Amino acid sequence: MCGIVGYIGPKDAQAVLMVGLEKLEYRGYDSAGIATLHRGELGVRKREGKLRRLADLLDNQPLSGRIGIGHTRWATHGEPSDANAHPHTDADEHLAIVHNGVIENYLQLRDELETAGHVFRSDTDSEVLAHLISDYLDDGLPPERALLSTYSRLDGYFALAVISESFPETIYAIRQGPPLVIGLGEGENFLASDTNALLRFTKRVVFVEDGQVVALTADGARIIDREGRPVERTERTISLGEQQLDKGDYPHFMLKEIYEQPDIIENVFLTRVSNHRDIAFQNLRLSPQQLNKVSRVVIQAAGTSWHAGLIGKYLLEQFVRLHVEVDVSSEFRYRNPVLGGDTLVMAISQSGETADTLAGIREAKSKFIKVLSLVNVEGSTIDRESDAVVHLHAGPEIGVASTKAYTAEVVALILLTTIWGRLKYVIDDEGVRRLLTELEAVPAKLRRILALDGQIRELAKQFYESPVFFFIGRGYNYPTALEGALKLKEISYIHATGYPAGELKHGPIALIEKDTPVVALTTQGPTYQKTLSNVAEVRARGGRIICIATEGDEEITKVADHVIHIPACAEELSPLLTVVPLQLLSYHIAVLRGCDVDRPRNLAKSVTVE
């Protein structure tokens, strides 16, 4: 939800921190700030608004120093403002902290501190950290003890970094929940919320685990646990290149990522499938015997990943004949789910840091249930805490609205279903070959859909001022309808709702009036005629119908106001195709409405708060 960076070494800290914050701005962007130490003196600059405003401030009032911390914020407590922006300082402004997460007992701590005479400058929960650490230092505790004592007082989840005039050559940090990663250089070291902020400087990283405290100097990183015991650290090398974090000639990351989908699916197919029969998952870590024992799957995820989970339900029920339940993580984690020995919990997450999904994994593991995760960011917390993983290999997804990760999640589910269905003898070799041949043809079909971009942009011009939108579909098209609605609402701020097409007449159709736009997913399939009837019901009440239909279907033109024809494909793979016109429609509507497509208001790319 927020982005943290830290630097210590021979370079100008301000410059390094601003590069890091720019790469983390997708994590939260309602305010930003940095703090540095120069000749033993702390300096702080922070501003409400996008990172550009902080950069403007620093142009006029730069900070010197070779050690510093920075933060880009997604507000949890306290509105976006200069005062609530991080870094926060202690009373004497000798110490500064940046924080990602929520200090759940901050009110109690704040009362205690105010009673002791502390004066607070912000409405945030984070500010209590600066005062607490400072108090322990003033009591004479050495820095590590001051950090551990502060840590012992905190409830909630937090990644924090702190610098102080009393330890001018060290950045201290704590991880309890939101991610934190160390970047290792030569005579310099870095700290960040995720590896995107480090790529320009180093590919050598150490992922900080929960319950660890870091002391970072220019010469190295010392890690201790909550009891102060040294912890062995595992160094890894990042495979990503910084150019993958660039939007190139595209106006927005989201459009670039929409257009990347054919290549990504092609690459996954080429690297995972051979002879239209064999499928390789390097880290599945579930033996055929373990997979065979499973008779029930519970899929838990959030947002777009939850929609992919719904597609997974249809696939696993159809091709593996398993009992499948799909739940949003924020519900799953609190309902004390019934999980038996035959159950496998599956988590789906692009970021691998979604707090609710991570908590769902921990809930399952507390009941000794195996967890298989489909995750894009390798080395993320979900990646590291799951028993088995399928990496999506979609590359970094920077646009807050998930697109390529969603189709990569569906591809992973299709491949997993194929392996599993074959293992359970629900599908035979011919069935496997059919599915894989269909999947191999998807990238070319996607490129033909992307060629409709101009037509979709023209369509957007007719609808971008609509205050409401409905998306309807049946079967595999139902989760796609939900996904289309989410895309539109999160980047254009239009009230968009997705419904099972058969559900409209049970209430929602009361909302249809003249010119209400309804996007209907009417690709050829077993429920095509039923969906057409639902379209007719909407049209009879004045709704304006946009149909996503199969090439060659002319009947649809009799009931629709607008038709986007897409290539035919097997029904079970259709979510890979039908979602793309909806992604493009949402994108163009948002652009026409002047919205910040890559950084929509109120949102952040990785939801690491609950």
Which residues are annotated as catalytic?
2, 605
Residues 6+ apart with CB under 8 A from 213: 144, 147, 148, 151, 172, 173, 174, 223, 224, 225, 226
The amino acid sitting at 167 is F
Write the single-letter amino acid at 15. A
Q: Which is nearer to ligand AGP, 134 or 583 (CB)?
A: 583
Rounded to whole angstroms, how far apart are CA atoms 580 and 441? 16
Of the candidates 265, 414, 547, 607, which one interacts with ligand AGP according to CB under 6 A?
A: 607
550 binds ligand AGP (CB under 6 A): no
Residues 249-288: x where in contact with ligand AGP by CB under 6 A, - otherwise, as a string? ----------------------------------------
Q: Does 490 bind ligand AGP (CB under 6 A)?
A: yes
Instruction: Please count the residues of this chain forming the interface with ligand AGP, following the rule CB under 6 A.
Output: 15
- Report d(CA 85, CA 48) in Å as an integer: 6
| Residues 6+ positions from 544 with CB-CB distance below 8 Å | 463, 515, 516, 517, 518, 561, 562
Cα(454)–Cα(76) distance, integer angstroms: 39
Site for ligand AGP in 361-420 (CB under 6 A): 400-402
Q: Least CB distance from residue 492 to ligand AGP, whole Å?
A: 12
Shortest separation between residue 181's beta carbon and ligand AGP, angstroms: 16
Mark the segment that binds ligand AGP (CB under 6 A) among 55-63, 99-107, 297-305, 528-536. 297-305
| Nearest in space to 587 (alpha carbons), one of 452, 479, 413 | 452
Q: Are 192 and 220 in contact (CB under 8 A)?
A: no
3-state secondary structure 182-241: EEECCCCEEEECCHHHCCCCCCEEEECCCCEEEEEECCEEEEEECCCCECCCCEEECCCC
In three-state secondary structure terms, 174 is strand
Q: Cβ of residue 396: shortest distance to ligand AGP, in angstroms?
A: 12
Which residues, 77 to 106, sit near ligand AGP by CB under 6 A? none
Separation CA 47–CA 55 (nearest Å): 9
- CA–CA distance, 369 with 277 (Å, rounded to integer): 30
- Here the tokens at position 135 are 């108090």
Distance from C-alpha of 28 to C-alpha of 44, rounded to nearest angstrom? 19
Taking CB under 6 A as the criterion, the residue among 36, 150, 305, 343 binding ligand AGP is: 305
Contact region for ligand AGP (CB under 6 A) — 153-161, 301-309, 464-472, 585-593? 301-309
**d(Cα 8, Cα 381) in Å, to the nearest integer?**
25
Q: Is 585 in the site for ligand AGP (CB under 6 A)?
A: no
Closest CB 469 distance from ligand AGP, rounded Å: 16
Measured CA to CA, the distance from residue 487 to residue 257 in angstroms comes to: 14
Classified as helix, coil or strand, 400 is coil
- Report CA dihedral (501, 502, 507, 510) to the nearest 10 degrees: 50
- Candidates 9, 65, 179, 303: give the one binding ligand AGP (CB under 6 A): 303
**Sequence-separated (6 or more) residues with CB below 8 Å from residue 524:** 550, 553, 568, 571
Closest CB to ligand AGP among 176 and 357? Answer: 357
The distance of closest approach from Cβ of residue 391 to ligand AGP in the complex, given in angstroms and rounded to an integer, is 13
Residue closer to ligand AGP, measured from CB, 17 or 364: 364
Report the greatest alpha carbon distance in the chain: 81
Residue with the closest Cβ to ligand AGP? 303
Q: Which is nearer to ligand AGP, 297 or 560 (CB)?
A: 297
Cβ closer to ligand AGP: 298 or 607? 607
Question: Closest by alpha carbon to 492, among 587, 604, 402, 403?
Answer: 587
Radius of gyration of the chain from its Cα atoms, rounded to whole angstroms = 25
> Which H or E run contains 298?
strand 296-301
Q: Given the complex with ligand AGP, which of 84 and 606 has the nearer CB atom?
A: 606
Stretch near ligand AGP under the rule CB under 6 A, chosen from 81-89, 299-307, 500-508, 548-556? 299-307
Q: Which is nearer to ligand AGP, 357 or 527 (CB)?
A: 357
Which is closer to ligand AGP, CB of 302 or CB of 442?
302
Q: Which stretch binds ligand AGP (CB under 6 A): 48-56, 94-102, 212-220, 345-353?
A: 345-353
Please, what is the minimum distance in Å from the beta carbon of residue 588 to ligand AGP? 16
Shortest separation between residue 135's beta carbon and ligand AGP, angstroms: 36
- Angstrom distance (rounded) from CA 347 to CA 326: 10
Closer of 176 and 350 to ligand AGP (Cβ): 350
Can you tell me which of 100, 164, 170, 304 binds ligand AGP, judged by CB under 6 A? 304
Say whether residue 349 binds ligand AGP (CB under 6 A).
yes
Residue 354 within binding range of ligand AGP, rule CB under 6 A: yes
Q: Closer to ligand AGP at the Cβ: 101 or 303?
A: 303
Question: Measured between alpha carbons, how far is residue 80 from residues 4, 28, 46, 48, 84 in Å?
Answer: 17, 11, 11, 6, 6
Closest distance between ligand AGP and the C-beta of residue 271, in Å?
22
Cβ atoms within 10 A of the Cβ of 530, count?
A: 14
Task: Work out which of 302, 344, 547, 566 binds ligand AGP, going by CB under 6 A.
Answer: 302
Return the range that interacts with ligand AGP (CB under 6 A); candidates 275-283, 346-354, 359-367, 445-453.
346-354
Query: Which part of the chain contacts ligand AGP (CB under 6 A), choosing from 257-265, 303-311, 471-479, 534-542?
Result: 303-311
User: Which residues lie near ligand AGP (CB under 6 A)?
Assistant: 302-305, 349-351, 354, 357, 400-402, 490, 606-607
